[in-house]
Amino acid sequence: DAKTTQPTSMDCAEGRAANLPCNHSTISGNEYVYWYRQIHSQGPQYIIHGLKNNETNEMASLIITEDRKSSTLILPHATLRDTAVYYCIVRLTDSWGKLQFGAGTQVVVTP
């Protein structure tokens, strides 16, 4: 599975959009981009995933560049409850499901 690079930390003001970047320059054509987050003292939680098209769900939007070498997770209106570590993961489509987490991005939403 391709390796990902994320900033160590970022701050975001409550109510504003949070844009979380992820680089995955070695991604191959059959690898998906997944995002999970982990709120303090909880297990990770699935947010969204995509292959090459932009995706949106009730939690976030995922923007994948045309060359697929990077992506951005967008939390449209950050709340204090969005404070968490956000993990960008790249995984083979035919993988049996093992997730390889990096260190992630610590996002702090401030009032």
Q: By CB under 8 A, name the binding residues for other proteins.
A: 32, 41-46, 49, 85, 87, 93-94, 96-104
Give the C-alpha separation, 49 to 92, whole Å. Answer: 12
Rounded Cα distance, 3 and 41, in Å: 26
In the complex, minimum distance from the CB of residue 57 to other proteins, in angstroms, rounded to a whole number = 11
Nearer to other proteins, 99 or 108 (CB): 99
Nearer to other proteins, 16 or 101 (CB): 101
CB of 100 to other proteins, least distance (A): 7
**Alpha carbons 31 and 69: distance in angstroms, whole number:** 11
Name the residue nearer to other proteins (CB basis): 14 or 102: 102
Phi, psi of 22 (to 5 degrees): -150, 130
CB 28 within 8 A of CB 2: yes
Taking the complex as a whole, the smallest distance from the CB of residue 59 to other proteins amounts, in Å, to 12
